[in-house]
Structure 1
Amino acid sequence: MTATLGTTAPRSGVDAAVTLTGVRKEFGTGQHAVVALDGVDLQVAPGEFVCLLGASGCGKSTLLNLVAGLDAPTSGRIGLTTSRPAVMFQEAALMPWLTAERNVELPLRLAGVRRGERRARAGELLELVRLSGVGRKRPHELSGGMRQRVALARALASAQGSADDGAPALLLMDEPFAALDAITRDVLQSELARVWRETGTAVLFVTHDVREAVRLGQRVVLLSSRPGRVVREWAVEGRDPAELIEDVTGRLREVISGHAAA
């Protein structure tokens, strides 16, 4: 089949799908203010797969919400070359009254895509995530792993609008496999890697699992404990996975230990 979300080659003149510059996020005011993120600089290139790693509470999900436009930074700047990044959460959050096909169609319908075209796209995307035979089933008829595949297809459909004008597509993923059993998680990690290669979608993937980050990402970015700051980055290509996992795990432990001793 033909991939539905562009290619890994960036549009002329576009060198980043998203750029964060000096991003700070505070919750509350005055003495009760909590700084979740402070001075975050990060760039994700078109078609790049970046894993954002850190301990619980370090601001990973907050950062993702800021990029998605679900919240605004207190200061700093977030630049997007795609006007509508797609988001996938830990829960599939499918509409229970809609079939799998209609769930995938929903963002296309909201974007004003005509019925025939959105049905064709939904069929292509379900085939892409290897669910071509379940389009008429409702979420309660599907396993947890299958529901997450439908959620992935829906997220890709949402990102489609960004790719239509030649801009890089961007997919934001907040620990989407954390609630699944180990075998299903392993399968879906492989499927996500395959889908990413076929579509060329830029991915910013939040996880606390070092092995998952090294397995999926082209680049692993480590945030400090609160307030979250970028403290280290690793390029995955050309590195021995076991060695890299040990390196990243050691640095993560240092970050956690340093926070506990503060």
Structure 2
Amino acid sequence: MTATLENTPAVSDVDAAVTLSGVRKAFGHGASTVVALDGVDLRVAPGEFVCLLGASGCGKSTLLNLVAGLDAPTSGSIELTTSRPAVMFQEAALMPWLTATRNVELPLRLAGVKRGPRREKADELLSLVRLDGAGHKRPHELSGGMRQRVALARALASTLGSAGDDRGGLLLMDEPFAALDAITRDVLQAELVRVWRETGTAIVFVTHDVREAVRLGQRVVLLSSRPGRVVREWDTTGDDEAELIGDVTSRLREVISGHAAA
């Protein structure tokens, strides 16, 4: 089964959800220093869906961690105009002792949202990801795809301020569908696009899958092999999908081959 996804522009001209300027990240000191990212410049507009593509070890996950505030760049700057970016990983990482509803409520609770409104919002978000009636179930009672839906609902809840704004925000996704079977992955890709359109959330989606990047993103950004730098970008709107996949794949192979020969 292949999900047919359309890319509809949802980009605002007002500011940027996040701007990276000359971002460099190095780990270690002296001779053992490893430079993961070097001079990354990237701007993501409010409501934009950007897919970050690159070979394994090119710094994609490191970049997400920096934007999320889980680590700090060695140099350069990261500016956010939206608060509380949320992160979604390969593993759903749900609290096993909490129900689906309580898992989604958790970031709202930490943000100080009162019990009634946060339960209402959790139910609304579970409905958004098509899990009506599953809120009472715990993670072990859900399939892998359903757990990822709960994780998506929780991530969306994390982007909401205490005022409960329903639009905007920034969602960082680190290969969230990589561990799923092909059919479930296709379904969730389509669901993600639907949720993105309905919420107006800016998304930075990390993947090593060219087809996934082209089908999901309005823009595909290719990082070089380590140290990661932005080497190419593609606007996916209006282009022939098969031709674009071929072009991106060819450029990715060049990047990988160039690194192997170095």
Pair 1:20 & 2:29 matched: no
Match of 1:196 in 2: 196
Pair 1:252 & 2:246 matched: no
Q: Is the 8 A contact 1:85 1:162 kept in 2?
A: no
Match of 2:238 in 1: 238
**Matched pairs, number:** 253
Match of 1:126 in 2: 126
> Over residues 96-141 of structure 1, what are the superposed CA-to-partner deviations in whole Å (9 max), with x where a residue is unaligned?
0000000000000000000000000000000000001100000000
Question: Deviation at 1:162?
Answer: 8.2
1-side partners of 2:164 and 2:34: how far apart? 39
Question: Deviation at 1:163?
Answer: 8.0
Question: Deviation at 1:165?
Answer: 6.4
What one-letter code is carried by the residue in structure 2 that aligns with 1:178? A
Question: Deviation at 1:94?
Answer: 0.2
> Over residues 217-256 of structure 1, what are the superposed CA-to-partner deviations in whole Å (9 max), with x where a residue is unaligned?
0000000000000000000001000000000000000000
Match of 1:50 in 2: 50
Match of 1:89 in 2: 89
What one-letter code is carried by the residue in structure 2 that aligns with 1:221? V
> Over residues 195-221 of structure 1, what are the superposed CA-to-partner deviations in whole Å (9 max), with x where a residue is unaligned?
001111000000000000000000000
2-side partners of 1:9 and 1:126: how far apart? 25
- Over the residues paired in the alignment, what is the CA RMSD in angstroms? 1.5
1-side partners of 2:74 and 2:192: how far apart? 33
Q: 1:166 to 1:121 in 2, by over 3 A?
A: closer
Output the TM-score relative to the length of structure 1: 0.94
Q: Is the 8 A contact 2:83 2:169 kept in 1?
A: no
SS at match of 1:46: coil
2-side partners of 1:77 and 1:43: how far apart? 12
For structure 1, list consecutive stretches of 5 or more residues without a partner in the other structure.
Answer: 1-7
Q: 1:109 to 1:20 in 2, by over 3 A?
A: same
For structure 2, list consecutive stretches of 5 or more residues without a partner in the other structure.
Answer: 1-9
Question: Deviation at 1:15?
Answer: 1.4
1-side partners of 2:196 and 2:162: how far apart? 16
1-side partners of 2:235 and 2:163: how far apart? 26
> Over residues 136-181 of structure 1, what are the superposed CA-to-partner deviations in whole Å (9 max), with x where a residue is unaligned?
0000000000000000000000001188569830000000000000
Pair 1:222 & 2:222 matched: yes
Match of 1:67 in 2: 67
Q: Is the 8 A contact 2:27 2:36 kept in 1?
A: yes
Q: 1:98 to 1:36 in 2, by over 3 A?
A: same
2-side partners of 1:257 and 1:9: how far apart? 34
Output the TM-score relative to the length of structure 2: 0.94
Percent of aligned pairs with the same residue? 84
